[in-house]
Amino acid sequence: MPNERELLDELATGRKEIKTDSYSMSIGEIINLYKDGEIELDPAFQRLYRWGDEQKSRFIESILLGIPIPPIFVAQKEDGKWTVVDGVQRISTILQLTGELKNHAPLTLTVTKKLPSLEGFDWSSLPEDLKRLLRRSKFDINIILTENSIQAQYELFQRLNSGGLHLEPQEIRNCLIIMLDEEFYDKLNNLKKYPNFIDCLPLQDYKFKIEFHMELILRYMIAKYGKVDFAKYKVSSSLLSEFIDAETANLIGDQDFNFDKEADTFKRVFDLLAKTLGDKAFKKYNSEKDDFDGPFSQSSFDAITPGVAENIDKLSVLSVPEFQQKIKDLYSQKDFEIYSDRGVKALTRIKGLTEFSKAYFQL
C-alpha cells in the first residue's frame, strides 16, 4: 500500500524548500530595474526564444489593447537581484522597443491585426499617449528564491517551460550547459557540425532541428568517459533526460575532463565509421539480407560508439571488410540482444550497452 505518511512528509519538506513571493509591477518599473542592473536576462534562456518582429509587434499590440499579460517568473539570488526564468521574450521585446535592450537595435513595429497603423512606428515616433499607456501597463511578477544555485534556476526553468513553445529536452538542456560553462556549449555546438558525424546519421530534418544530434554527442561522451555512478539513480523511475542533464553537469564540473582531447577522439571514431559504413553505421544488421537496413537505432549507437572510442587505435588498422564484420557480428551477441530489448529500462540499457561495447571491441 502507498505510504500516506511518507507522502505528506515529502510534501511538507518540498514546500519548505520553495520560497515564493509575488506582486504587480509596471512596465516602467521593470525597465528601470533592468537599467539599474537589478534584473538580468540570462543569455541561456534568451537563445531559446527568437520571436520575429511580427510576433514582437503583436505582443506590443496586445498590451496597448489591454489584453492581460501572462505572469513573469524570476529567480531571486542571495544579493536580491532577479534573473528572468520565464518571460524573457516578453521583457526583451519591451526593452528592445524602448531602445534599452543591450546589443540589439531598437524595434520598429510591423503591421498588426487590430492596430495596422502601428506599422513603421518606433519608440521615438510613437505618440506620447501610447508610450504612457505602455509604461503604466503591469505584469504580475512571481518571485522564487533560489539563492545562487544554477541547478535550482535550471530546474525552475524546466518546470515553467511555457512561453507558448514546446521545447525538446536538448533545447532545454542547452540552457543548463550555457549557464554552467558557455565555452563548453560553444565547443559542443561546433562539434555537432562535424561532417563525418552528420554523414553517419540517417535522421529526419526535424531531429537535427531539435538538437537530437547534440544529445547524441553528450550520450557518447558520458558513456565513453565512464564515470557514471549508476547507484545514485533509481533505475526504475529515473528519467533519461534528467540522467543526461545530471551527467552533462558532471562532465562540465570534472576538472579531469578534457573536451578538446575527447573531441579529437570523437572525430577519429566518426572518421572510421563514415569510411567503413557511412549512413549505415547505426542501422541494424539484417543477416537474411546481409545488409544494414531500417532507421537509425539508438541501441546501435550506444553499443558501438563507446567501445570504438576506447579501442580506436587498434580498430583503425583493420581493413574495411574486417571492421564491417565486427559490426555485423555485434548484432548476434547475447548481451546486445538483452540490453537492446524494448522492455529494458533506459538507464539499465545505457549501462548494459556501454559495458558490452567496451568489452566487445577490445582486440
Q: What is the pLDDT of residues 206-224, one digit of tens each?
A: 999 889 999 999 999 999 9
- pLDDT tens column, 255-287: 999 999 999 999 999 999 999 999 999 999 999
Cα 137 to its chain centre, rounded Å, is 33
CA distances from 88 to 40, 71, 319 (A): 9, 11, 54
pLDDT at 312: 97
- pLDDT tens column, 20-79: 677 899 999 999 999 999 998 866 666 666 788 999 999 999 999 999 888 888 877 767
Tell the residue number behind the cell numbers 499579460, with chain if given. Answer: 69
Whether the CB-CB separation of 326 and 304 falls below 8 Å is answered with no
Q: Which of 40-49, 64-73, 111-120, 243-252 has the lowest mean pLDDT?
A: 40-49
CA geometry: angle 301, 306, 308, nearest 5 deg:
95
Whether the CB-CB separation of 237 and 199 falls below 8 Å is answered with no
CA geometry: angle 59, 139, 18, nearest 5 deg:
125
Output the pTM of the full model: 0.73
Residue 165 has pLDDT above 60, yes or no: no
Mean pLDDT, the chain, integer: 88
CA distances from 244 to 67, 114, 157, 174, 241 (A): 40, 45, 16, 11, 5
Tell the residue number behind the cell numbers 550555457, with chain if given. Answer: 178
Closest CA to 243 of 342, 345, 353, 357: 345
Q: Whats the size of the chain, residue-wise? A: 363
Which residues lie across from 138 on neighbouring strands? 26
Tell the residue number behind the cell numbers 520575429, with chain if given. Answer: 52
Distance from C-alpha of 314 to C-alpha of 318, rounded to nearest angstrom? 7
Q: Which of 78-82, 95-99, 255-259, 291-295 has the lowest mean pLDDT?
A: 78-82
Cell for 352? 548494459
